[in-house]
Amino acid sequence: MSLLRRIPGQYLWPLLALVGLCFGSILALLYVTTSSQDRMEAAREARTLTAALRTNVDMVRRDLQDYAMWDDAVRHIARDFDADWIDDNVTAYLGRTQGYDHVFVIAPDGSTPYAFSHGSLSRASAGKGATELFGPAFAESIAAVRRMDPAHSPSISGFTRQGDHFYIYAVAAVVPLTHKVTLPPGGKYVLAIANEVDGSFLTRLRKAHQLVGLTVRQDRGAVPLTDFRGRTLAHVDLAVRTPGSRLRDQILPGLILIILLSALVAASVVRQGGQAMDALRSSRADAVHNADHDPLTALPNRRVLLERVRVRLLDGRAVGLIYMDLDGFKEVNDLYGHRAGDDLLRAATVRIATLAGEDALVARMGGDEFAVLAADGRGHDASALAQRIIDGFQETFAISGANVRVGVSIGVVTTPRHCALTVDELMRRADVAMYSAKGRGKNRWHLYAAGMDTGHDVRKRLEHDLRTAIAANGIDVAYQPIVSAATGRIVCFEALARWTHPREGMIPPDVFIPLAEMTGLIGALGEQVLAKACRAVAPFDIGLAVNLSPAQFWDAHLVDSVARILKEEAFPADRLELEITENYLMRRPDAAAGVMEELRTLGIRLALDDFGSGFASIGYLRQLKFDRLKIDKQFVSDAAASGDVGEGAAEMLVAIVALGRALRLEITAEGVETQDQSALVKACGCHRMQGWLHGRPVAPEMLAETVARLGRDGDSERGGDGGQGDNLPLRNRAQG
């Protein structure tokens, strides 16, 4: 009755009928399926038995044929009957080895001059003859064999019956195999072999073919036993396996138990229906929450923010929107890994929410971008909040055991009451203002102004054009010579990326290289530059130096990429030198050492670029095992200056060279532009020099002229030691 109260009758009875139909159908299906399985098994075993009987008949004939169609058999049976020869050459194999119960020779007159039965030999025709022993089908077979053409191995096999006894037999006329022997005139002698189809025969048949319960029945059975003319003599019956019935017997009790349990479960389900509905409502609320919130930070997502902004605009209220992007987030990801990046995003979420206050809506827009919808849409409140966030990000974050500092670039857009702007336009303006802040030095905020659209559009167009240029192999490479300090002759070229825009002309590297890094194009750019540089420098047997950007260095495919390019361009690895800037290695020296070791296995050399501009320690230098130090050009410039500044810088330059020599590193001085600077770095002990004094960057077609002008230093080392190039972006400098 409780069930009836929970489910109205108009629903209950149809439900019960449906359940009954389902379980009834399952039972019917079980019966039909298992019965069909039994029938298929019976048919399969009948086919197996039929094939087995046919195989035995064929095998008996094949056993006999080799002895009947034989020149020696004609000599010793048909021409000069020799019972001893038959014993030694026919019965020894067929009767004693093969185990045939009967071996007979039937003469043309129908007598049986040779009979071997169950191991006993009779060389006279006394006793029952073969035709009397095996029945009429056997006699008919002998007559048919004698009528056959001797050239076609006349033989017949099959089953025969005599009274209640059944035999499998074969008869074959004794005929010559070759033309060396001829048959005597008169009728043919016939060889015959037979086995009784008795219990032992059926047992062997059953075991050989994995059958069960074989018996011979005279009335009916599974497979007919026929003579050589196809007449049924009896039937062989078999006890058929019934796997379907056994399966049904095994399943049925469990199925009945399942039906009973299902009835109990159905009642329990009805009783718990209320709880299930509550759980469903709760799950629905969770799904709605998950659809509206970011799973990593638990902040409302982009959809929620856009809906809130849309509602405010429709209500005619003022809107103050702050759109921000973390500065340096990618570097944290590259240096410390994605888990540290996730931790940083969660920590940044807490800090932004704290600074924004409880009344503001903070949302994660995707990646490292966040947005804040100010509680009050007035412009000065949104601007004040943006400044608070900028100030708040001056404090470091404790991530993965390190103190990490990231900045934030913020775009602010405000609207008056009853503004006609759409949500999409408002978001676009916020994005434009944010990129304007990022483009003017980062870690600042900008309020949207109409003039920003132009710069934003220019950046978008420039990004598109750079992508097109890279795809069209349109990035050029210039080459600045590096010379031996001892001889002044060229030892290496440094490859520098150059981009000539079809409308804007020459785009400076400090513009398009950061753009390539920010848009993910730096990998393709670096590969293109490395391939072109290898191709251009290869004929001169001179070293090649190429800069790696941080994004390239931490790329998991870097080594494979460089190796591939070196192979494709047939450029010797020992002529390539990869230059790495210290400031993005020292935060993860262990990981950096692993990458450098992989590069070194290719035969490439590694140089620490702009040494002195970062914070590399002596311990790091020893751990990372560079081949060369490149002293930052500011040291060279300061050391050549007059006064106390020059004197102190010169002493520092001497100390850097001494440090490099102590670490067994080659030293290259950058930015050598005057003879005084050249003399100074030589005096300090530098091995190489690079700068405008010895050559500005030249186009590839000027390489031969440059080599001819400066001369090639035959004793210099190859420039290079690293290898790889999945994204070998040249961290270009304006003058090398």
Reported as a single tens digit per residue, the pLDDT across 37-53 is 878 887 888 888 889 88
Q: Tokens at residue 99, please?
A: 């185990």
Residue 455 pLDDT? 60
CA distance 465 to 455: 15
Contact at 8 Å (CB) between 32 and 25? no
What domain range is 371 assigned to? 291-449
Looking at the fold, whether 490 and 619 belong to one and the same domain comes out as yes
User: Mean pLDDT across the stretch 646-671?
Assistant: 86
The better pLDDT of the pair 2, 298 is held by 298
User: Mean pLDDT across the stretch 352-361?
Assistant: 89
CA distance 552 to 561: 10
CA distance 459 to 464: 9
The better pLDDT of the pair 275, 168 is held by 168
Looking at the fold, whether 76 and 108 belong to one and the same domain comes out as yes
Residue 732 pLDDT? 37
Amino acid at 696: R
User: Can you give the CATH number for the domain in which 326 is found?
Assistant: 3.30.70.270
Q: Tokens at residue 361, please?
A: 């809506």
Query: Is pLDDT at 257 greater than 60 in this prediction?
Result: yes
Element (H, E) at 720: none
User: Can you give the CATH number for the domain in which 177 is found?
Assistant: 3.30.450
Q: Is residue 722 part of a domain?
A: no
- Residue 334's nearest CA partner among 591, 614, 621 is 591
Beta strands in 612-710 (DSSP E): 628-631, 666-669, 688-690
Q: Which of 167-181, 228-242, 257-271, 576-590 has the highest mean pLDDT?
A: 167-181
By percentage, how much of the chain surpasses pLDDT 90? 32
Looking at the fold, whether 375 and 490 belong to one and the same domain comes out as no
Residue 645 pLDDT? 62
Reported as a single tens digit per residue, the pLDDT across 48-69 is 888 988 999 899 999 998 899 9
Looking at the fold, whether 259 and 167 belong to one and the same domain comes out as no
User: Mean pLDDT across the stretch 545-563?
Assistant: 86
In angstroms, what CA-CA distances link 649 with 73, 495, 606, 690?
119, 29, 26, 19
- SS3 (DSSP) at 410: strand
Residue 23 pLDDT? 77
Residue 282 pLDDT? 59
Residue 511 pLDDT? 81
Q: Is residue 346 part of a domain?
A: yes
Looking at the fold, whether 388 and 318 belong to one and the same domain comes out as yes
Q: Determine the number of helices (DSSP H) and then strands (DSSP E) in the chain.
A: 25, 25
Looking at the fold, whether 313 and 440 belong to one and the same domain comes out as yes
Looking at the fold, whether 118 and 147 belong to one and the same domain comes out as yes
Q: Is residue 246 part of a domain?
A: no
Looking at the fold, whether 170 and 269 belong to one and the same domain comes out as no
Reported as a single tens digit per residue, the pLDDT across 143-164 is 899 888 888 889 999 999 888 8
Residue 731 pLDDT? 35
Looking at the fold, whether 414 and 471 belong to one and the same domain comes out as no
CA distance 296 to 346: 7
- SS3 (DSSP) at 57: helix
By percentage, how much of the chain surpasses pLDDT 70? 87
Contact at 8 Å (CB) between 656 and 665? no
Q: Is residue 328 part of a domain?
A: yes
CA distance 60 to 53: 11
Q: Is residue 155 part of a domain?
A: yes
CA distance 107 to 678: 125
Reported as a single tens digit per residue, the pLDDT across 430-447 is 888 888 888 777 888 988
- How many domains in the chain? 4
The better pLDDT of the pair 688, 521 is held by 688
Residue 733 pLDDT? 33
User: Mean pLDDT across the stretch 466-470?
Assistant: 90
Q: Is residue 717 part of a domain?
A: no
Looking at the fold, whether 266 and 331 belong to one and the same domain comes out as no
Q: What is the DSSP code (8-state) at residue 91?
A: I
User: Mean pLDDT across the stretch 351-362?
Assistant: 90
Q: Tokens at residue 348, please?
A: 């940044």
Q: Is residue 734 part of a domain?
A: no
Lowest mean pLDDT among 190-199, 229-238, 280-289: 280-289
CA distance 200 to 509: 97
Residue 729 pLDDT? 36
User: Mean pLDDT across the stretch 568-593?
Assistant: 82
Q: Tokens at residue 512, please?
A: 């398009």
Residue 656 pLDDT? 86
Lowest mean pLDDT among 43-47, 274-278, 299-303, 409-413: 274-278
CA distance 194 to 317: 111
CA distance 632 to 629: 9
User: Mean pLDDT across the stretch 188-200?
Assistant: 90
Residue 647 pLDDT? 78
Residue 229 pLDDT? 87
Residue 273 pLDDT? 52
Reported as a single tens digit per residue, the pLDDT across 715-736 is 444 443 333 333 333 333 333 3
The better pLDDT of the pair 570, 133 is held by 570
The residues that bridge with 669 in the sheet, in sequence order, are: 631, 689
Looking at the fold, whether 417 and 502 belong to one and the same domain comes out as no
Query: Is pLDDT at 106 greater than 80 in this prediction?
Result: yes
User: Mean pLDDT across the stretch 545-567?
Assistant: 88
Lowest mean pLDDT among 20-29, 411-420, 497-506: 20-29
Mean pLDDT of the chain: 83
Looking at the fold, whether 208 and 328 belong to one and the same domain comes out as no
Residue 479 pLDDT? 95
Other beta carbons within 10 Å of 119? 9
Question: pTM score, two decimals?
Answer: 0.48
